[in-house]
Structure 1
Amino acid sequence: MKFIVSALVAGMGLSGCQTVMPAPTGPHLVLTGVGRFAVFGDLSTRSRSGDQARLRSLQVVESGFEVDGRGFWGGWSWWAFDCAARTADRLDFASVSEGGIEGPAVPDSEPPYPAAPGGDAAELLAIACSGSGNAPTFRTVESAVRAGRQALD
């Protein structure tokens, strides 16, 4: 949580915020887990080469989440996974304020770590490495935020 709040504050302090741009076909957001946050994997960003996979995730915060009086929906992160070793590496975090404005990405310099069963990283690894089956997808960030907040309530 400390990392996320720091990244949100850092993103607010940097200029050059931009609107969240979906992949050319639009996002295909799949709910992967609900705990402290609702986490979605964006299937439109999934790529795989051998045992290596990448995926962008959307982390949704509860309704009313604010930092310095500014409301936030959550944030995006790029992840890299080793499907054979079952490790996860969160590469960055970019806050998303209310209305879908994305802050600049703040790199996450922590090394890859084992994806513990039941954790957010393991749930994202599963769809990055194996696919999502027939899970329902959300085609806009706004619809994912609504669904995520309902799941958090």
Structure 2
Amino acid sequence: MWVSLVSSLVLAAQTPSPSPHAFVLTGSGRFAQMADAASITREGDTARMRVLQVADKDFHVGDVAYWGGWSWWAFDCSARTADRLDFASVREGGAEGPAMADNQPAYEAAPGGDAAELLALACAPERPAAQAMTVAGAVTLGRQALTD
């Protein structure tokens, strides 16, 4: 019995836990948008998702380098509207600054824009395969997209 219990505990310790992130590149322009598909929640026609906005590698404010920033978004899948709820900067290395509320109202997700690309992913019936599983990996992928 003890051998079985110890074997189970060893196996559990060796089994990697699932990543808390599943990043998908949805677009790039001034910034790369890395949607975290693992954060998607749905309630009726409303979807919520966290998005990492990746900045160019040379993005500094003063002498502080930033990877970009996180935002929570809410989407009305039927009305095709998007609402960016907040923004929290992400310093190089991954430290997150405090979240600041974005009090602008929801708006129509115009075809071809960042919000429409994010809405399409958040409202899709199935989640796409992840392209990166860590914040650092998402930053690398996003910066590659910015240079293409």
What TM-score comes out, normalization by structure 1 length? Answer: 0.81
Letter in 1 for 2:33: V
On the 8 A contact 2:37/2:127 being kept in 1, the answer is: no
Partner of 1:84: 78
- After superposition, give the CA deviation of every residue in 1:97-144 in whole Å (9 maximum; x if it has no partner): 000000010000000000011111111101110156544421001011
Query: How many aligned positions are there?
Result: 130
> Residue 28 of structure 1 aligns with which residue?
22
CA distance in 2, matches of 1:61, 1:91: 19
Q: Greater relative contact order: 1 or 2 (C-alpha under 8 angstroms, separation 6 or more)?
A: 1
* Contact 2:69–2:89 under 8 Å retained in 1: yes
Q: 2:40 aligns with which of 34, 37, 46?
A: 46
Structure 1 unaligned regions, length at least 5: 1-23
What's 2:11 paired with?
A: none
Q: 2:105 aligns with which of 105, 111, 114?
A: 111
Shift of 1:64: 1.1
Say which one has the larger Rg. Answer: 2
Deviations 1:44-79 (A, max 9, x none): 110011111100000000011000110000000000
Measured against aligned partners, the alpha-carbon deviations of 1:8-35 in whole angstroms (never above 9, x if no partner) come to: xxxxxxxxxxxxxxxx742101000011
Gap regions ≥5 residues in structure 2: 1-17
Q: TM-score, normalised by structure 2?
A: 0.84
- Separation in structure 1 between the aligned mates of residue 93 and residue 125 of structure 2, nearest angstrom: 29
**What is the DSSP-based 3-state SS (H/G/I as helix, E as strand, rest coil) of the residue aligned with 1:128?**
helix
Instruction: Choose which of 92, 114, 119 in structure 2 pairs with 1:120.
Output: 114
Query: How far apart are the structure 1 equivalents of 2:144 and 2:32?
Result: 9
Say whether residues 1:96 and 2:55 are aligned partners.
no
The yes-or-no answer on 1:138 pairing with 2:141 is: no
The CA deviation at 1:150 is 1.0
Residue equivalent to 1:74: 68
- Partners of 1:135 and 1:39 in 2: CA distance: 16
Q: Percent identity?
A: 60
Instruction: Kindly report the root-mean-square deviation, in angstroms, between the aligned alpha carbons of the 2 structures.
Output: 1.4
Name whichever of 25-34 and 97-106 sits farther off. 25-34
